[in-house]
Structure 1
Amino acid sequence: MSYIIGPNVVRYSCTCGLLKPISFLYFCRYCTQLRCSFCVCHEVDSNFCGKCSENIPSSEARVKKNRCGNCYMCPSCEQELSPRIASTKAPAEGEEKVSTKKMYYLFCQFCRWSSRDVGIPDQSSVTGGWPDRENIHANRLQELLDLYKAIVLAQKQQQEKDKKQRGKYISYTDRTGVTAAALRKRIGLPADLTHPLLKSRPKEPEPMIAQTEVEKLPDDIFTKPINLMDITTIEQRLLQPESQPTTVDKLFPVHKQLSIKRTLRCKTCEHNVSKPEYNPSSVKFKIQLFAYYHIPEIRIVTVEPLRAGRPCELILKFTNPTQHQTTISFFELNLDEQEDIVENKLTEVVENVEQLSLQEKQPMSLTSQPSSSLTLSSRSPSIIIKPRKIMEYMNCNIEIPESTFVLPPRDDAAEYDDSGETHNIHDDPKLVKWRKSNKAFIKLNITPDESLPLNAEVVCGFIMQHVYTNTITGQLEKKEPQKYDHKVKVFLTLGQTVGSE
């Protein structure tokens, strides 16, 4: 059986109002809302090299400018460089006999670039010893960095001193982040020369002096033919911003940039929705709250030829990914009444967050064990995300069925056992065409608008309500899992209209 699949065929509406496929969404079990990559907090969990799989602490990665010290990239095509062995014959120390010695050089297997092309000498060991190009502005940059570090340190010391003098009262500048010097400059007052920060200001480096005379262009600049194979591209120059070589004979190997593992955190309740393993070679997750594992998946099985103003049949496949039975019902989706729905959902989210915060503020018994993953973080305040208006135009009317249908829980063994269908479920034959284990094929009647021209894209939508079983509350209070109705807006792109028979 063939399915109509694609990146934008079946889209779910996120809490913020964006339309995404179910594989691009997350589901927060604490505030029970869908989250996309734009309405979650992205935090760097660890830094590692994608080639040698070495974990690097954040402080060390900051010093190394987020580059690996052992792995290199090709300056020509930005692919990984691999060491090659070259044997050389040279006399040993104190002996006249000639011996063969192994030497190593860097080589690119894609563009055939090697470190020998730019005159880098071969090394006797595989790891280490590769010379880096010296930056002619390194001293100047280091002086500027030392100056700004000293200024920041003096500001912190002065702020701590001022806080001790004021006691518990907070000034206006501490709340807004505006320094006293910037505030005096903004309101037009002269600088306070008696301020201790200005007295202990570190020595500034010598200012750069502009030159009035520059080097003359060569005489053959307009007559000499240009070989584009010897000139670097803009990408190659930006790969080495400290030198920006203009010719290919000045390209040096570039240290490979570090990769990161991200932790995604819900902005409303501050709980993690995705947290990977610390080991860089592992692809598993400690926390993996993808919507694919909590929300029923919808796929388009078949759809009759779409003709403007004529009803046609649409068959959808619903799959229950959870370990609990769910009941699915349909509601009409009206985007004109979206403002009222937005306000109601916003109020519901606020109530859920307040209820969750009250539960965690209550004193726990001696027998209960607090969990670090369930504790609200105090690093940043909670943010209530106000949904935006869904910018989607529906040009197809869908007949909403009044009856509901049940999806049994997921059973991996039932996929290979055809005799295990023991679910005594009485379905509406007009709605459910066929079912197996946790899947059901649903028949819907749709009618494209009469005003649609030929080859126009047909889009329809509905609200899917399913019973979600929340196991988090049951684990905290040692009670049975709570069940409630969860609604999701679903948009289907059915294809293009065809002509009449």
Structure 2
Amino acid sequence: MEHLPSAEAKMKKNRCFTCFDCPNCFHTLSVRATTRSLDDSQPKTSSKHYYLACFFCRWTTRDVGIPDQVAATGNWPVKENPHQELLTSFLDHYKIVAMRERSEKEKKPFVLRRGYTSYTEKFGLTNMIARKRAGLPSLPLAGKDINPANLPAITPCVASETVEPLSDTFFTEPPDLTKITTISQRHANPMLQAVSTSGLHPQHRHFYIKRSLRCRSCEHNVSKPEYNPGSIKFKIQLAAYYHMPEIRVMTFEPLMAGRSCEIILKLTNPTLHLTSLQFSPPAKNNKGGSVEVVSGDPPKKSIDVPQPVVVEGVNSKIELPICPVVLPPRDDAAEYDDTGDTHNFQDDPKIVVWRKGNKAAVKFIITPDDGLQPGTDVIFSFALEYGYVNTMQTVEVKQPQRAEMQVNVFIAPGKILGAIEE
């Protein structure tokens, strides 16, 4: 959740200097405090010492001999690449080579043409003056010499025919796979690629970036690539998941063409308000109706049910429940309560077959169309009507408002089975 501009993140090699990844399971390491230090060089006092630990695989920095730190945000030692100087010289060399190639492409041919206002534009002197004023070094000239003097000298790598022999224990003792690193662990740190788990060291965590995501229907921004991850716009654009009822398929009977079968859908209320769900045929215009102020009484119906229409892709008929289904608000403590529900709802057992907390299982009857071939996906649809409570206060209205929403739901539970011989 750190806010950094792209230039500073690039300068830090897209890594965070305060967070570390576990080299064993790649989860984020946490700082643990203790009054006991394993390093004999540190003075034995009652002060606290800190080390890094993984809550997932129980890996700690003490497993590889990293000393404890006296501060929680201490300078944790990171094992550097032994070939860092050689790689740095290669990068500096090829940066200058890339600048030379870019200058050759941008250099204009020496041909007399009309349209030049001055000789500086004709011979490319404007770029040189601009770089000099900005304090940047001048570009190396692309002359006849292939290796100009201003290029840093690099030492080429030479292949060696001598290979370090294997130890005798490799042939005499059975291998212990718990002490040998995996391919994923070696690729996570390609600079070192430790062979044994004792050589694993934590690495700085990579930065994450938020990308843009648009709706496929209306092309509005669902998530914007903002620099600040804690932005209010980010939370508002993704608020539909926390306010719309969740629908999942629990069980269904074998799907046969032209035969009725039962299907049970699990409905979940993710909001902190009482919600009443009603089911109707799919509508062409699924827009919300009037808005009313939330009170202690249950919300009243405030929209007109539109006429049902034929939706493309639907190949099944559905019998919808007539009575509404009321879902209580979400309670995190109810997930751990096995004594039973305290809500007393008068549900029809033919419609609501199961209820717990803010969840309820509702039974539907669907009939796939005649003539569907085996292996065809069964798709049915209905309109779900629910109440949405807007708790955002505005200048005009400072009380929570309730709006009745209606959305079309398309469900594909499975495929048509073959005919059963009677």
Query: Deviation digits for residues 368-399 of structure 1, max 9, x if unmatched?
Result: xxxxxxxxxxxxxxxxxxxxxxxxxxxxxxxx
Among candidates 419, 422, 447, match of residue 369 of structure 2:
447
Whether 1:420 and 2:342 are equivalent positions in the alignment is: no
Distance 1:63 1:210 in 2: 33
Q: 1:291 to 1:427 in 2, by over 3 A?
A: same
Once the two structures are overlaid, the 10-residue window that deviates more, 117-126 or 97-106, is 97-106
208, 216, 221: which one pairs with 2:165?
Answer: 216
Matches within 5 A, 1:187-266: 202-203=151-152, 205-264=154-213
Q: Cα gap change, 1:100/1:287 in structure 2, threshold over 3 Å: closer, same or farther?
A: closer
Gaps of 5+ in 2: 117-141, 266-279, 309-317, 326-362, 384-407
**1:274–1:287 contact (8 Å) kept in structure 2:** no
CA 1:416–1:152: 2 relative to 1, 3 Å: farther
What TM-score do you get using the length of structure 1 for normalisation?
Answer: 0.46
1:489–1:115 Cα change, 3 Å: closer
RMSD over aligned Cα, in angstroms? 5.4
The DSSP-based 3-state class of the residue aligned with 2:108 is helix
**Helix, strand or coil: the match of 2:224?**
strand
The residue type paired with residue 67 of structure 1 is R
Structure 1 partner of 2:404: none
Does structure 1 residue 409 correspond to structure 2 residue 299? no
Distance 1:222 1:78 in 2: 32
Corresponding residue to 1:492 among 407, 412, 416: 412
- 2: CA distance, partners of 1:499 / 1:154: 76
Equivalent residues of 1:105, 1:114 under 8 A apart: yes
Q: Which residue of 1 aligns with 2:61?
A: 115
Aligned to 1:74: 22
> Following the alignment from structure 1 to structure 2, what is the Cα–Cα distance between the partners of residues 76 and 136?
22
2:378 alignment partner in structure 1: 459
2:124 corresponds in structure 1 to none
Q: Aligned AA for 1:421?
A: K
8 A Cα contact 1:89 1:100, kept in partner: no
- Identical aligned pairs, as a percentage? 37
- Residue 104 of structure 1 corresponds to which residue in structure 2? 50
Deviation at 1:307, TM superposition (A): 3.0
Q: State the alpha-carbon separation in 2 of the partners of residues 436 and 218 from structure 1.
A: 75
Show structure 1 runs of 5+ residues with no match. 1-52, 91-96, 170-192, 317-327, 331-402, 465-487
Cα offset for 1:133? 0.9
Instruction: Write the distance in 2 (CA, Å) between the matches of 1:196 and 1:67.
Output: 39
Aligned partners of 1:308 and 1:118: how far apart in 2?
64
Deviation at 1:495, TM superposition (A): 5.8
- The whole-number CA distance in structure 1 between the counterparts of 2:213 and 2:258 is 45
Larger strand proportion of the pair? 1
Aligned residue runs from structure 1 range 63-462, under 5 A: 63-79=11-27, 80-87=29-36, 100-162=46-108, 202-203=151-152, 205-264=154-213, 272-275=221-224, 278-281=227-230, 285=234, 288=237, 306-310=255-259, 409=289, 411=291, 420-421=300-301, 434=322, 446-449=368-371, 452=374, 458-460=377-379
Deviation of 1:149 (Å): 1.6
| Structure 2: distance between partners of 1:130 and 1:416 | 56
Aligned to 2:133: none
The offset of 1:137, in angstroms, is 1.1
Q: CA separation of 1:240/1:314 partners in 2, compared to 1, >3 Å: closer, same or farther? A: closer
Report deviation, 1:138. Answer: 0.6
Cα offsets for 1:312-348 (capped at 9, x unmatched)? 79999xxxxxxxxxxx998xxxxxxxxxxxxxxxxxx
Name the SS of the counterpart of 2:209 in structure 1: strand
Residue 359 (structure 2) aligns with? none
- Structure 1 residues 101 and 234, CA, compared in 2 at 3 Å: closer, same or farther? same
User: Which residue does the alignment assign to 1:39?
Assistant: none
The SS at the match of 1:222 is helix
Deviation digits for residues 39-66 of structure 1, max 9, x if unmatched?
xxxxxxxxxxxxxx32222223223332
Residues 291 and 442 from structure 1, CA distance in 2 versus in 1: closer, same or farther, beyond 3 angstroms?
farther
Give a deviation string over 1:110-130, Cα, whole Å, max 9, x none: 433322232222222221321
Alignment-derived partner of residue 4 in structure 2? 56
CA distance in 2, matches of 1:214, 1:74: 32
Counterpart of 1:346 in structure 2 is none
Look up the SS of the partner of 2:163 in the other structure: coil
- The normalised TM-score by structure 2 is 0.54
Q: Find the counterpart in structure 2 of residue 481 from structure 1.
A: none
Q: Deviations over 1:88-139 (max 9, x none)?
A: 699xxxxxx9854433222333433322232222222221321111211111
Q: Secondary structure at the match of 1:55?
A: coil
- Measured in 1, the distance between the counterparts of 2:96 and 2:218 equals 38
Q: Which has the higher helix share?
A: 1
User: Residues of 2 paired with 1:264 and 1:406: CA distance?
Assistant: 23
The amino acid that maps onto 1:153 is M
The answer on whether the counterparts of 1:81 and 1:109 sit within 8 Å (CA) in structure 2 is yes
Shift of 1:82: 1.9
Distance verdict in 2 for CA 1:60–1:168, change over 3 Å: farther
CA contact (8 A) 1:433 1:443 kept: no
Query: 1-side partners of 2:220 and 2:180: how far apart?
Result: 51
Structure number with the bigger relative contact order (C-alpha 8 A, sep ≥ 6) is 1
